[in-house]
């Protein structure tokens, strides 16, 4: 551990503070497998301090005008854009993702999250209902109080800002807990929020592990709203903790997303889109299309061309601008990927591409967590490899003979987050999209995001929706006021 390693401190009541117990966790750089900084190893004592700060700030912040809240959030967005390169580099080092991806996706999307909700609160509609000649009803949507925001390691600043922005835009105060694996950009965001003039205590960030910090947040009686993104297993624990306290909970969980290619699709577009939806962020995006289904008459052509394009993805040091495939976020996740590649072969699958770590890229990355883009064919549709979330650069490709069959395959999973359908027959596109059980269906595209639309999953992919109007409604409490005539 280098003595000068940066310490990722908690941000409570507008101050950067060490954890009460003085403990820190090593923060490992995925590309090297070595610690490069330290993350505060906090516990319920810091959560209590953060609750006190958030409670103190709530009265002032919830009474602040929407115009003033908007101005501060827009300033945060401007500062994120000002520091784009610094934030992108921090994100790349912390997660192992290519610097180019952090620079073009993660950080710009974080700025647009703040900008979107900063302006959305200026244009919200209020509902009123005239009850004949009896009464006049109007609905107030008021901030709920302290929100607990828990986020994962795959798109750290993007997904955390997706929670912080709406929560505080509508007048709540917040306690955020980023993943202990990728806490650096949340730490940097705190400085930008202070520079933007966000009042002390409106946003508090407490770093540490799930059990020591996440669980106390979900169990704290004064934190009435919980927004969680992460794995389904943990999502279940969060829901169990919140239920007895009747908390309002939003869960954005895992996925095992189908990517369906019909023979009449524009294959050039479908192949390019499928390579991206398979391996973006090393396949560590809950929306990745990890189960590819191709109509049999186009199957051989698709597989050959897909393998050719996927094999050309440039793996390398995440900090190299030319790199398209970086490192897996950590050893635990890399071992999980290796486990499923071994399992796939035991289940009868054939490794058509990848299936192992690449040759060492350079001395710096010799002990990093790298794995080649991997394609598996020949698996039965209902095997474990095709039903369980791997969350790495691993996809399966399976042929199908007709629409009804592939819809059955697509829906044969406990998850229901997102899907893609590639066809030039738009009547079929509408028909298939209506029958697929996922919260989002992309037709002839992937990961096209409009922040106004509801976003989230069905079944074990989550509860509730985030995004746009849904997020503003999630973080506010509607009150109906009825005035007799």
Give the catalytic positions in this structure: 252, 286
**Whose CA is closest to 223, among 187, 176, 162, 161?**
176
- Please report how close the Cβ of residue 262 comes to ligand TXE at its closest, in angstroms: 28
- Please report how close the Cβ of residue 50 comes to ligand TXE at its closest, in angstroms: 15
Which residue of 180, 317, 324, 470 would you call a contact of ligand TXE, by CB under 6 A? 180
Residue 334 backbone class (left: φ over 0; alpha: ψ -120 to 50; beta: rest): alpha
Number of residues that bind ligand TXE (CB under 6 A): 27
| Residues 483, 468 contacting (CB under 8 angstroms) | no
Residue 8 sits in the site that holds ligand TXE (CB under 6 A): no
Element (H, E) at 293: strand 291-295
- Would you give the DSSP letter of residue 243? G
Hey, how many other C-beta atoms are within 10 angstroms of the C-beta on 160? Answer: 27
Residue 252 sits in the site that holds ligand TXE (CB under 6 A): yes
Nearer to ligand TXE, 152 or 318 (CB): 152
Q: Which residues contact 381 (CB under 8 A, 6 or more apart)?
A: 398, 409, 412
Using DSSP, state whether 236 is helix, strand or coil. Answer: helix
Of the ranges 22-30, 53-61, 144-152, 441-449, which one interacts with ligand TXE (CB under 6 A)?
144-152
Of the ranges 148-156, 266-274, 403-411, 431-439, which one interacts with ligand TXE (CB under 6 A)?
148-156
Window 271-310: contact mask with ligand TXE (x via CB under 6 A):
---------------x------------------------
- Would you give the DSSP letter of residue 463? E
Window 326-355: contact mask with ligand TXE (x via CB under 6 A):
-------x----------------------
- Please report how close the Cβ of residue 249 comes to ligand TXE at its closest, in angstroms: 11
Residue 220 sits in the site that holds ligand TXE (CB under 6 A): no
Of the ranges 58-66, 105-113, 114-122, 214-222, which one interacts with ligand TXE (CB under 6 A)?
214-222
Element (H, E) at 45: helix 44-63
Sign of the four-CA dihedral 17, 19, 24, 28: negative
Hey, how many other C-beta atoms are within 10 angstroms of the C-beta on 483? Answer: 9
Using DSSP, state whether 97 is helix, strand or coil. Answer: coil
Which residue of 76, 87, 202, 238 would you call a contact of ligand TXE, by CB under 6 A? 238
Which residue of 166, 199, 201, 230 would you call a contact of ligand TXE, by CB under 6 A? 230
Question: Kind of pairing, strands 415-416 and 350-353?
Answer: unpaired
Residue 366's φ and ψ, nearest 5 degrees, are -55, -40
Q: How big is the CA angle at 50 (ends 44 and 51), to the nearest 5 degrees? A: 90
Of the ranges 81-89, 246-254, 421-429, 435-443, which one interacts with ligand TXE (CB under 6 A)?
246-254
- Please report how close the Cβ of residue 66 comes to ligand TXE at its closest, in angstroms: 30
Which residue of 96, 199, 201, 254 would you call a contact of ligand TXE, by CB under 6 A? 254
Nearer to ligand TXE, 218 or 438 (CB): 218
Residue 315 sits in the site that holds ligand TXE (CB under 6 A): no
Residue 214 sits in the site that holds ligand TXE (CB under 6 A): yes
Residue 35's φ and ψ, nearest 5 degrees, are -65, 140
Residue 95 sits in the site that holds ligand TXE (CB under 6 A): no
Of the ranges 44-52, 164-172, 248-256, 352-360, which one interacts with ligand TXE (CB under 6 A)?
248-256
Hey, how many other C-beta atoms are within 10 angstroms of the C-beta on 318? Answer: 30
Residue 41's φ and ψ, nearest 5 degrees, are -105, 80
Residue 35 sits in the site that holds ligand TXE (CB under 6 A): no
The C-alpha atoms of residue 265 and residue 168 are separated, in whole angstroms, by 43
**Whose CA is closest to 257, among 43, 137, 56, 436?**
436
- Please report how close the Cβ of residue 438 comes to ligand TXE at its closest, in angstroms: 13
Residues of this chain that interact with ligand TXE (CB under 6 A) are 150-154, 177, 179-180, 209-211, 214-215, 218, 229-231, 234, 237-238, 252-254, 286, 333, 389, 391
């Amino acid at each position: 551990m280098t003595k000068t390693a940066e310490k990722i401190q908690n941000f409570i009541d507008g101050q950067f503070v060490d954890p009460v117990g003085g403990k820190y966790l090593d923060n490992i750089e995925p590309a090297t497998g070595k610690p490069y900084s330290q993350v505060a190893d906090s516990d319920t004592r810091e959560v209590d301090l953060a609750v006190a700060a958030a409670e103190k700030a709530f009265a002032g912040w919830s009474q602040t005008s929407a115009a003033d809240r908007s101005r501060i959030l827009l300033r945060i967005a401007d500062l994120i854009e000002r520091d784009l390169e610094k934030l992108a580099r921090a994100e790349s080092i912390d997660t192992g993702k290519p610097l180019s991806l952090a620079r073009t996706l993660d950080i710009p999307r974080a700025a647009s999250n703040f900008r979107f909700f900063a302006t959305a609160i200026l244009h919200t509609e209020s509902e009123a209902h005239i009850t004949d000649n009896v009464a006049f009803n109007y609905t107030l949507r008021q901030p709920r109080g302290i929100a607990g925001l828990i986020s994962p390691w795959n798109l750290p600043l993007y997904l955390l800002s997706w929670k912080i922005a709406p929560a505080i835009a509508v007048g709540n105060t917040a306690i955020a807990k980023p993943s202990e694996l990728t806490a650096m950009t949340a730490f940097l965001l705190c400085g930008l929020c202070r520079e933007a003039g966000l009042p002390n205590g409106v946003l508090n960030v407490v770093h540490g592990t799930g059990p020591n910090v996440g669980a106390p947040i979900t169990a704290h009686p004064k934190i009435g709203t919980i927004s969680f993104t992460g794995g389904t297993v943990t999502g279940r624990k969060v829901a169990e903790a919140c239920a007895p306290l009747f908390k309002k909970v939003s869960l954005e969980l895992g996925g095992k997303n189908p990517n369906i290619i019909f023979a009449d699709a524009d294959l050039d577009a479908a192949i390019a889109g499928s390579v991206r939806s398979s391996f973006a962020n090393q396949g560590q995006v809950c929306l990745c299309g990890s189960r590819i289904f191709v109509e049999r008459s186009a199957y051989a052509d698709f597989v050959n061309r897909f393998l050719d394009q996927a094999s050309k993805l440039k793996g390398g040091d995440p900090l190299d601008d030319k790199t398209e495939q970086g490192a897996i976020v950590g050893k635990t996740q890399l071992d999980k990927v290796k486990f499923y590649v071994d399992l796939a072969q035991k289940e009868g699958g054939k490794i058509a591409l990848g299936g192992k770590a690449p040759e060492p890229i350079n001395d710096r990355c010799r002990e990093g967590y790298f794995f080649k883009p991997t394609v598996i064919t020949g698996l039965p549709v209902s095997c474990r490899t095709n039903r369980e979330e791997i969350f790495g650069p691993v996809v399966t490709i399976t042929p199908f003979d007709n629409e009804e069959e592939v819809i059955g395959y697509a829906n044969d999973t406990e998850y229901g987050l997102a899907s893609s359908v590639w066809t030039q027959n738009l009547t079929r596109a509408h028909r298939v999209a209506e029958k697929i059980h996922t919260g989002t269906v992309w037709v002839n595209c992937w990961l096209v995001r409009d922040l106004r639309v509801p976003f989230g999953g069905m079944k074990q992919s989550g509860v509730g929706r985030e995004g746009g109007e849904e997020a503003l409604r999630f973080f506010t409490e509607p009150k109906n006021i009825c005035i007799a005539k």
